[in-house]
Structure 1
Amino acid sequence: MKRFLELLPHRFPFLLVDRVLDFEEGRFLRAVKNVSVNEPFFQGHFPGKPILPGVLILEAMAQATGILAFKSVGKLEPGELYYFAGIDEARFKRPVVPGDQMIMEVTFEKTRRGLTRFKGVALVDGKVVCEATMMCARSREA
């Protein structure tokens, strides 16, 4: 499963997918993020009551969609990347804190005019912490 993570251009401290748990090309991907108190963003969000920023929950789900896209939509040409292009219907249901294991489940919906749409949900202990519809675009590096 490590080969899946090599598909992402992200690296520490911004790589937010620790492991791919399950995958079916063109359909879905399940991945995990183990949330550690040592994450650098917890120093300021929030001192004494660390909470994973919601935008980073969305980013973790977007990275999971990136892996699914790389494996499903086709091989990238040199100089191409999948860029996060949009988000709709994002909802945060409960906080994610150090010690949590966050599972991201993303499903492929469709590709149209260069945009690929995914549904994503993040869970901790089987409970939804975030859900959203995300889009990514295949594009040449800027």
Structure 2
Amino acid sequence: MMDVVEIQEILPHRYPFLLVDRVVSLEVKENIVAFKNVSISEPVFEGHFPGHPIYPGVMILEGMAQAGGLLAFQSMELTKEEVKEKVVYFMSIDKAKFRKPVRPGDRLEYRVSVIKQKGAIWLLEGKAFVDDEMVSEAELKAMVVDK
């Protein structure tokens, strides 16, 4: 388990771009389950779309990517000082699919697992769920680099 304060010790993202609220489970080098509470008070809903708020698909992918970054950092057994000197860059997003709109009030659950890892490069399978129904999925490739 990891709360938002612990997440901020690992990820450099901050409001309004920190898209993971809590980590529910994490198996090093295997998988992570994390979530984000989608709220109407988020700035993205001012323009997407007035009177018909839909959480943007790219934000869902970014949340998956942030969960994947947490998994990579926790799997690399870095000290807190070492983590502060590194960042995760996403190299590609493949096979992205959006199956159902996400709306304010939904709890997005990210389930990200390692397909392959070699050195600093991670290939991840990301899936997003609302109420156990898949709303999005993608393959994410990332690299952990020095800042």
User: TM-score, normalised to structure 2's length?
Assistant: 0.90
Residue 15 (str. 1) matches residue 21 (str. 2): no
- Tell me which protein shows more helix as a share of its residues: 2
Q: Which runs of 5+ in 2 are unaligned?
A: none
Q: Which amino acid aligns with 1:123?
A: F
Please give the alpha-carbon distance, in whole angstroms, between the structure 1 residues aligned to 2:97 and 2:130: 15
Please give the alpha-carbon distance, in whole angstroms, between the structure 1 residues aligned to 2:84 and 2:51: 45
The equivalent residue for 1:33 is 36
Partner SS for 1:6: helix
CA RMSD for the aligned pairs? 1.4
Q: Which runs of 5+ in 1 are unaligned?
A: none
The equivalent residue for 1:137 is 143
Partner SS for 2:125: strand
Which of the numbers 102, 105, 109 marks the counterpart of 1:99? 105
> 1:113: how far off?
5.8
Q: Which amino acid aligns with 1:71?
A: Q
Residues 1-142 of structure 1: matches in 2 within 5 Å?
1-2=2-3, 3-75=6-78, 76=82, 79-112=85-118, 114-141=120-147
Q: What percentage of aligned pairs have identical amino acids?
A: 46
Listed one character per residue, the Cα deviations across residues 80-114 of structure 1 (whole Å, up to 9, x for unaligned) are 21111111100000000000011000001212363
Equivalent residues of 2:8, 2:14 under 8 A apart: no
